[in-house]
Amino acid sequence: MHKAGWGWRRSRWDLIGFIALLFLTASISQAAPQAQATAADYVGADTCSACHAEQFEQFRKTYMAAVLAEKYPVEQQGCEACHGPGRAHVEAIGEATDDASMERAKSLIYSFARHSPKENADRCLTCHIKNENQSLFRRSRHLGSGVFCGDCHTAHLPKEVQSAAQTSTALASLFSVPKRAAEQVWLDDHLLKEEQPKLCYSCHRNVEAEFQLPVHHRVQEGLLKCTDCHNPHGSVTANELRSVRTEACYACHVEKRGPFVFEHAAVQVEGCTGCHVPHGSTNAFRLKRRQERQLCLECHTAPEGLNVPHPRLGFQEAGECSRCHVEIHGSNYQKQFLR
Instruction: Give residue limits of the domains in the chain.
Output: 40-110, 137-167+179-247
* Secondary structure of residue 274 in the 3-state scheme: helix
Q: What is the CA radius of gyration of the chain?
A: 30
Q: What number of other Cβ atoms are within 10 A of residue 272's Cβ?
A: 20
Lowest mean per-residue pLDDT among 34-48, 142-156, 165-179, 203-217: 165-179
**Alpha helix stretches (DSSP H) within the chain:** 2-31, 45-49, 53-59, 63-67, 80-83, 87-95, 99-106, 117-128, 141-144, 169-174, 182-188, 198-201, 205-210, 247-250, 265-269, 292-296
- Cβ atoms of residues 68 and 81 within 8 Å: yes
pLDDT at 176: 62
pLDDT of residue 177: 59
Q: What is the mean pLDDT of residues 161-187?
A: 64
241: which strand partners?
230
Confidence at 308, pLDDT banded by 50, 70, 90: low
Q: What is residue 22's predicted lDDT score, i.e. its pLDDT? A: 53
The pLDDT of residue 277: 92
> Nearest CA to 195 among 241, 231, 164?
164
Cis preceding-peptide flag for 197 (omega within 30 of 0): yes
pLDDT at 48 over 50: yes
What's the pLDDT at 321?
A: 83
For 288, other C-beta atoms within 10 Å of its C-beta total: 14
pLDDT at 232 (0 to 100) = 93
| pLDDT surpassing 80 at residue 162 | no
Angle between helices 87-95 and 99-106 (to 10 degrees): 170
Nearest to 38 by CA among 92, 81, 85, 91: 85
Kindly give, in sequence order, each residue whose CB lies less than 8 Å from that of residue 52, ignoring residues fewer than 6 positions away: 79
Tell me the pLDDT tens digit for each residue of 116-150: 999 999 999 988 887 778 888 988 999 999 999 99
What pTM was estimated for this model as a whole? 0.76
For 123-153, give one letter per residue: b (16+ CB within 10 A) or e.
Answer: bbbeeeeeeeebebbeebebbeeebbbbbbe
Q: What percent of the chain has pLDDT over 70?
A: 78
Cα distance between residue 153 and residue 142, in whole Å: 13
* pLDDT bracket for residue 227 (50, 70, 90): very high
Please report the pLDDT score of residue 258 as a whole number: 84
